Amino acid sequence: MLKKFKTVKYEIESDKLKQQGFRAAVISDLHNVEFGEKNQRLLQKLEEEQPDMLLLAGDMVLGKKEASVRAAYDFLRQAVKIAPVFYGLGNHEQRMKQKPEVFGRDYLLFEKQIQRLGVIMLENATKAYEIKGEKLLLSGLMLPYSYYDKRGKKKLEKRDINRLVGKSSREWFHILLTHTPKYGDAYLDWGGDLILAGHYHGGVMRLPFLGGVISPDFRLFPKYCRGHFQKEESHLVVSAGLGEHTIPLRIFNPRELLLIDCLPKSRG
């Protein structure tokens, strides 16, 4: 069966952007899924939309012992020719990286290979970047793996994010690549301009008026499941993702490639 995806577009404004702004394409939860041979359909769509950067919100790979990283590598080898690529880790990358004794060393080699291609890895790190005259900061938040525990009730607070990636900038447009949207309240309190997450796969199944039904950690009707959320000048955008794994279903829940136009705030 031919896998399909839709392009979802958002537009946000910020006083921190002074020139013409920029367009970001966002990919989350690809999980080794391919749209055409070596993801040619996905790559073609990216070329058509001409993003200024490609932001990865985690889980490009599938963290299973028998899984390969080849599909993710083939995609990124072509994607870096379209736009600069910034990669924030998801829980699948995280566990493959932290447990080579279980998953082997393929993921560690994959990281080295894509960095040689020019992919910028953001693992609790911040990168200053300038594009089209706009000054940006890009941070990648990698939470301790215990924050993904299905049985846990761990809380995340603004001070925890400050400790891992630093404070949000008051001067530069600040993008935060995270993965799980479970802690959306804390991200918005932290105060970045654009915060990106995925992980929940849109809630697997979506119902009218109720939204996503279940998260990968088996929480019913999770608050930050898919879409755009805002608190003051901070914007959280959660992708429904492009793939799936443990629960291989997507009901009323199409796969998403996100395009976000970040623009100077209009005066009028």
d(CA 250, CA 231): 29
Residue range 160-181: average pLDDT?
Answer: 97
CATH of domain 5-264: 3.60.21.10
Does the structure show a pLDDT above 70 at 267?
A: no
**Strands 173-177, 134-140: parallel, antiparallel or unpaired by DSSP?**
parallel
For the chain, the average pLDDT equals: 92
d(CA 41, CA 39): 6
In order of 74, 174, 220, 242, the CA distances from 169 in angstroms are 35, 6, 34, 30
pLDDT of residue 268: 55
> CB under 8 Å to 144, separation ≥6 — which residues?
none
| Residue 30 φ/ψ, nearest 5 degrees | -70, -35
How far is residue 43 CA from its own chain's centroid? 17
Residue range 80-86: average pLDDT?
Answer: 98
**Strands 255-264, 173-177: parallel, antiparallel or unpaired by DSSP?**
unpaired
The model's confidence at residue 237, banded by pLDDT at 50, 70 and 90, is very high
Does the structure show a pLDDT above 60 at 25?
A: yes
Residue 40, H or E segment: helix 40-49
Residue range 117-129: average pLDDT?
Answer: 97
Give the start-to-end residue ranges of the domains of the chain. 5-264
Does the structure show a pLDDT above 90 at 112?
A: yes
Percentage of residues of the chain with pLDDT beyond 70: 97
Per residue in 187-235, pLDDT (tens digit) is 999 999 999 999 988 877 777 767 777 777 777 878 899 999 999 999 9
